[in-house]
Chain A
Amino acid sequence: AQSVTQPDIHITVSEGASLELRCNYSYGATPYLFWYVQSPGQGLQLLLKYFSGDTLVQGIKGFEAEFKRSQSSFNLRKPSVHWSDAAEYFCAVGWGKLIFGQGTELSVKP
């Protein structure tokens, strides 16, 4: 079955600290992978995507993600978190129909 698992429901990091959000997927074919961010009461904004090629992809707002086929993972990273990064983050896989994880809520403490 196709699925996405985000093991961490809630993460708190200090401003300026590094961040890694985990994502594991189960998908039969070559996965198209995405990370979206959602601020409270808002829609989803695409941070970055992986289709093929270089397994380290750069996105907006200083985020990057690394695709590891052997681990079925697509973890999101940021070297230095800003207070404005506090939001809900969703990993998704799919082609046309997107399958989302349950999300990770990020809190940033000053």
Chain B
Amino acid sequence: ETGVTQSPTHLIKTRGQQVTLRCSSQSGHNTVSWYQQALGQGPQFIFQYYREEENGRGNFPPRFSGLQFPNYSSELNVNALELDDSALYLCASSSDPYEQYFGPGTRLTVT
């Protein structure tokens, strides 16, 4: 059974640019959640997708957007990058709302 995978592992972008992060969910999982983890902090919920529809959103501006595809993989897009967007972005997949399995994360650095 393949776990949750994320790409790329690391990414460096310039302020104002746009970035797309990718996540492949664990086999059999139809729900994907995205979290932002700033250095020294706990993860913060960005949004969740269930069967290709957004199913809940945290306190993040609209420049954070996402997609879920028919195979349940997902993308997180961030427009107009700001320095404070530098963080570890974690994707988690699940087959129910309760138990989420996390990927290794994408480390985004905005300069």
Q: In the bound complex, do residue A42 and residue B105 qualify as a contact, i.e. CB atoms below 8 Å apart?
A: yes
Q: In the bound complex, do residue A100 and residue B44 qualify as a contact, i.e. CB atoms below 8 Å apart?
A: yes
CA distance A98 to B33 in the complex (A): 9
A to B contact number (C-beta, < 8 Å): 57
Q: In the bound complex, do residue B101 and residue A46 qualify as a contact, i.e. CB atoms below 8 Å apart?
A: yes
What range describes how many residues of A lie at the interface? 20 to 34
Bitwise interface map of B from 73 to 104 toward A, beta carbon under 8 Å scored 1, else 0: 00000000000000000101000011111111
Q: SS class of chain A's interface: helix, strand, loop or mixed? A: strand
A sample of 23 inter-chain contacts (CB < 8 A) reads A32-B98, A36-B102, A41-B107, A42-B104, A42-B105, A43-B90, A43-B103, A43-B104, A44-B102, A46-B100, A46-B102, A90-B42, A92-B42, A95-B98, A96-B33, A96-B48, A96-B55, A97-B48, A98-B45, A100-B43, A100-B44, A102-B41, A103-B40
Q: A43-B105, A44-B43 are in contact. Are A49 and B98 (CB under 8 A)?
A: yes
What range describes how many residues of B lie at the interface? 20 to 34
Q: In the bound complex, do residue A97 and residue B44 qualify as a contact, i.e. CB atoms below 8 Å apart?
A: no
In the complex, whether B56 has a CB less than 8 A from a CB of chain A is: yes
